[in-house]
């Protein structure tokens, strides 16, 4: 009265299931954070040229020969004499609403102030934790080298995008 054949088959299957379960466990428990966590604001440099005959204004991207960038309240440089720069990426303050930078273009210095909202604790995952994303409200600067600043994209997150255009 004992279904021994099925019992053996069943126990054999149990071992297959255990090994499958091991596979699932190793697939699902990921210890390392594999998501992008860096949130940076990106600047691109442009000049405006007016066509002599048609009077049409056109934007042209250009490279800065050498650039120095640091925050107003910090001594360490984020960019130090970087040559031939097309775009720069800068972090914004995660827990304050205003970030000021001192930017030296070749030998001319300007101060740029960014006013922003912070979306604290934007959750990624248990492994990656939280990040802070920003929304640009306003961007102002002194006008020694910079002619004007245009906000292209207000949302700053982990996506690689140009947020501000600096016109010379």
Partner 1 sequence: MQHICKFFISILFWLSIYTVNAQNQNNKDSVKIDKINFINGIRIELDVSPVITTLLSKGDTYSFEGAVQTTLFQKYFPVFELGFAGANRTSTENVNFTTNGGFFRVGTDFSVMKPKKIPGKFQNFFLVGARLGFSNFTYNMTNVNVYDEYWDVSKTYDFNDVAATKVWFEIAAGIRVEIINNIYMGWTLRNKRMLTNDAEGKISPWYIPGFGVNATSNWGVNYALGYKF
**Which residues bind to partner 1, rule: CB under 8 A?**
1-3, 6-7, 9-10, 13-14, 17-18, 20-22, 24-25, 28-29, 31-33, 71, 73-74, 76, 78, 91, 93-95, 119-123, 125-127, 129-133
Tell me the C-alpha distance between 161 and 119, whole Å.
18
Q: How far is the CB of 167 from partner 1 (least distance, A)?
A: 26
Closest CB to partner 1 among residues 1, 56: 1
Ramachandran assignment for 53, one of left (phi > 0), alpha (psi -120 to 50 degrees), beta (any other): alpha
Name the 3-class secondary structure at 61: strand
Closest CB to partner 1 among residues 136, 145: 136
Closest CB to partner 1 among residues 46, 77: 77
* Bridge partners, 85 (sequence order): 64
Q: How far is the CB of 89 from partner 1 (least distance, A)?
A: 12
Tell me the C-alpha distance between 111 and 108, whole Å.
11
Distances (CA, A) of 105 to 33, 68, 144: 37, 7, 10
Cα 46 vs. chain centroid, distance in angstroms? 21
Element (H, E) at 141: strand 129-141
DSSP assignment string, 46-60: EEEEE-TTT--EEEE
Closest CB to partner 1 among residues 150, 155: 155
Closest CB to partner 1 among residues 20, 108: 20
Q: How far is the CB of 166 from partner 1 (least distance, A)?
A: 20
Q: How far is the CB of 21 from partner 1 (least distance, A)?
A: 5
Q: How far is the CB of 32 from partner 1 (least distance, A)?
A: 7
Q: Which residue has the tokens 């009265």?
A: 1
């Amino acid at each position: 009265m004992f279904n021994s054949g099925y019992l053996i088959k069943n126990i054999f299957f149990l071992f297959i299931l255990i090994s499958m379960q091991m596979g699932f466990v190793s697939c699902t428990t990921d210890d390392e954070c594999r998501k992008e966590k860096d949130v940076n604001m990106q600047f691109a440099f442009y000049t405006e040229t007016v066509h002599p005959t048609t009077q049409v204004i056109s934007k042209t991207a250009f490279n800065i020969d050498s650039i120095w960038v640091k925050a107003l309240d910090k001594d360490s440089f984020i960019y130090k004499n970087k040559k031939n720069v097309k775009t720069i990426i800068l972090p914004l303050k995660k827990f304050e609403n205003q970030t000021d930078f001192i930017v030296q273009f070749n030998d001319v210095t300007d101060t740029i102030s960014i006013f922003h909202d912070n979306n604290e604790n934007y959750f990624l995952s248990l492994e990656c934790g939280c990040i802070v994303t920003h929304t640009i409200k306003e961007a102002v600067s002194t006008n020694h080298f910079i002619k004007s600043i245009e906000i292209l994209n207000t949302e700053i997150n982990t996506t690689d995008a140009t947020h501000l255009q600096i016109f010379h």
